[in-house]
């Protein structure tokens, strides 16, 4: 089966370009690993979540466009939902507190199998600790069920941007992209074991891109992986 990325809406291209210029003017931006980004085919971008600026940063700096957004259901009729629609983002609203409902999961998997690029925070929400928190199983479930390529992305520095702006300083913002990979079910393992393994793999791929102070919940797991 051949996959292709749908045409990027004009509004998305314009806003993305505008944000790219703004970030490079007001911040010191470092982007590494863009050569790893598949430009076609099903793609699940796994991104750590530190700040409300994460989405604009990835939107501006990631070469793969457009991305399917997974905003919280509460935002659907709020200003953020209207902005998502204006940008031409193909939004799938989910109930994060109770886990994505079955229909939303089916829709996400269907979009992935059709060749979409979907960005997701495996942690399930914004970290309040300033580092990685324990991930939910949602990203692993989507990867296993869809067969989509997984692309680890780490972003940091943007969570310090507002305080730096107030001090009239240019913050440093980083986006590092790792090598893409796929995850397959092990028929010898239970469903839970496969989900746990896939979740661990997804998070460790992201941890490897982040500085030590952001490793958080997964700091020990990374050290164990290095020693094995």
Domain spans, the chain: 10-227
In CATH terms, is domain 10-227 a member of 3.40.50.2300? no
Q: What is the pLDDT of residues 18-58, one digit of tens each?
A: 999 999 999 999 999 999 999 999 999 999 999 988 988 99
pLDDT at residue 95 above 80? no
pLDDT tier for residue 69 given thresholds of 50, 70 and 90: low
Strand duo 28-32 + 172-177: pairing: parallel
User: Token pair for residue 123?
Assistant: 């942690």
Q: Which residue has the higher pLDDT, 173 or 96?
A: 173
Percentage of the chain surpassing pLDDT 90? 57
Q: Find the mean pLDDT for residues 77-93.
A: 67
Give the residue with greater pLDDT, 86 vs 135.
135
* Whole-angstrom distance, CA of residue 224 vs CA of residue 203: 14
> Which carries the bigger pLDDT value, residue 102 or residue 176?
176
Length of the chain: 228
Element (H, E) at 223: helix 219-227
Q: For residue 154, give the DSSP letter.
A: E
pLDDT tens, 114-169? 898 988 899 988 899 999 999 999 899 999 999 999 999 999 999 999 899 989 99
- Give Cα 144 to chain centroid, integer Å: 17
For 68, list phi and psi in degrees, rounded to 5: -85, 130
């Amino acid at each position: 089966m051949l996959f292709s990325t749908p045409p990027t809406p004009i509004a998305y291209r314009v806003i993305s370009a505008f944000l790219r210029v703004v970030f490079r003017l007001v911040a010191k931006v470092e982007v590494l690993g863009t050569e790893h980004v598949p430009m076609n085919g099903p793609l699940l971008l796994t991104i750590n979540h530190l700040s409300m600026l994460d989405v604009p940063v990835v939107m501006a700096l990631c070469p793969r466009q457009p991305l399917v957004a997974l905003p919280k259901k509460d935002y659907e009729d709020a200003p953020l939902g209207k902005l998502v629609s204006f940008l031409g983002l193909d939004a799938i609203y989910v109930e994060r507190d109770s886990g994505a409902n079955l229909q939303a999961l089916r829709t996400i998997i269907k979009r992935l199998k059709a060749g979409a690029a979907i960005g997701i925070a495996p942690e399930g929400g914004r970290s309040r600790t300033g580092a990685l928190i324990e991930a939910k199983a949602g990203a692993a479930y989507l990867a296993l069920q869809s067969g989509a390529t997984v692309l680890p992305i780490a972003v940091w520095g943007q969570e310090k941007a507002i305080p730096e702006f107030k001090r009239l300083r240019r913050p440093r913002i980083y986006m590092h992209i790792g090598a893409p990979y796929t995850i397959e079910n092990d028929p010898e393992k239970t469903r839970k074991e496969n989900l746990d393994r896939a979740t661990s793999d997804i998070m460790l791929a992201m941890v490897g891109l982040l500085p030590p102070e952001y490793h958080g919940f997964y700091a020990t797991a990374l050290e164990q992986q290095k020693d094995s």
